[in-house]
Structure 1
Amino acid sequence: MFKILRAEHLAENIVLMDVEAKRVAKACQPGQFIIVRLDEKGERIPLTIADYDREKGTVTIVFQPIGASTYQFANLKAGDSFMDFVGPLGRPSELTTDDLEEVKKKKILFVAGGVGTAPVYPQVKWLHEHGIDADVIVGAKTKSLIIMEDMMKEVAGNLYVTTDDGSYGRSGMVTKVIEDLVAEGKQYDLCVAIGPMIMMKFCCLTTKKLGIPTIVSMNPIMVDGTGMCGACRLTVGDEVKFACVDGPEFDGHKINFDEAMKRQAMYKTEEGRALLKFQEGDTHHGGCGHCGGDK
């Protein structure tokens, strides 16, 4: 069992947990993910690693409940445990595996959208620990959904916060901030964008226009996390890849986002039925003819 040492709500419907997982903490790197399962009947959920402490043996996860299993996770408290906490899985960020002296020469921009701030943080922190300051854009729909701002301030070279509704920081989408920074004279050799699929798509359209190579994380389309279910199949250039085993990070300018988003939508209906069953409990007696609750 993997004990939850801390559980708190960072914002409305966004949860942070520190989990005691010594072997995972010892081996994980920024960009990787773990698979969590609550109990023997639970669903296996892939979640990106938001932070880790090798000395304490803890791994931090941040998630937004969207289905039955993650809503169950959100109800857990410090002292509760997960049955499975498997990892690290996926490939680490290339920034952590490339030649350090070459990485130091690059001017890097991170773009974090919503919960995407969580997997951005360990990469920025790793760079900071190695003497590299990167610029970071953190965006959300409104002020109440901005997360990890103070933590990011400690490791970012420059932090730019923006909200779609203008309630905090700059006003507008993250893509507008990218364009504004370049217009102000900023030059970047690499952009790393992590967040909702639609945000990453338009970040890539923007950076391609500006000539900035861009890496994205395709964690949002992962379901099984082992390459068996096929949910995270995507086209990268002329190749077929699977986000969980080949990524989750890829060259954003080569990804067919429209295809990936269409594939992602195919898996929502079943999860929606599972969520209803969880929310309604014993009162869920079916009637739809699909979920089996009427049997």
Structure 2
Amino acid sequence: MENTKKKGLLDRLKSSRVLRVMFGRKIIVVCAVLILVMVLVAIFAPVIAPYDPNKDDLYNVLKGCSAEHWLGTDSNGRDVLSRIIYGARVSFTVGLVAVLISSVIGMALGLISGVAGGVVDSVIMRIMDAMMAVPMLILALFLGAILGQGLFNVCLAIGISMVPQYARITRGQVLSVRNADYVTAGTLCGASRVRNTLVHVFPNCLSANIVTMTASLGGAILAEANLSFLGMGISPPTASWGAMVSGGYKYLSNQPVIAIAPGIAIMIVVLCFNMCGDALRDALDPKLRGTLGNGSKKRRKATKGV
């Protein structure tokens, strides 16, 4: 009972230390708040949006900013603000689903490759190398052309294109711990290879992958915007930030808000996810765990000394 209490206390101290390191900079707090606000906006879009995002109004085509339409209207008379609000739903859905697909497949392949070794390892890693040789956007475009338009197809195309990074990270983590004493002890105690892998090896691969997942959210959202901009993303008339930029850049001279506003939304979301991913990496880095929030200061001092 006492050991259980001590373990629970250590877990709480460890989690609080990670949070202190992660949110030790004000910019990270701001980014986290912005992400939370955008998530809430996406969830409550039907309540917040002033107009139906897909309803055409040919009497109010390309109207400027006004009290009725804060960000004006597009070429079909649809309210730009409402479409940005609903577009947040698409962006966050694509980001979460694509990262979930890529992380599950990638970590499974990395575990199999690292544990099995030999021919299996060589085959899986050569396939991953071949996929990584192609830029992610080009690979996503290729897969999108095969799968076609649609929300799930876009998530699947982006998810598959991000699989190699998770596979390689997981394989590296497996190779570093598969010969550890506690893994050997599990084998000597009669644990099967599958049980040993899932109970002892896999948990040690999670921290690096969690950081990658956080950073990949921004990349997945940006990839969806690129695909929609190129006409391979979400099918119209569904509101999508990338599709809005694609349809609005033609009117930059007389109604620039149509393209600039969703572009700013994309920039903010991607920047916030990347900043939070960088902060989470610092918080989970064993070399910085004792700094209690001074990870960034330590890096700056090290940089000045070079």
Verify same fold: TM over 0.5: no
Which structure is larger by alpha-carbon Rg, 1 or 2?
Answer: 2
Using CA pairs below 8 Å that are at least 6 residues apart, which structure has the higher relative contact order? 2
More strand by share: 1
- Structure number having the greater helix percentage: 2
TM-score relative to the length of structure 2: 0.26
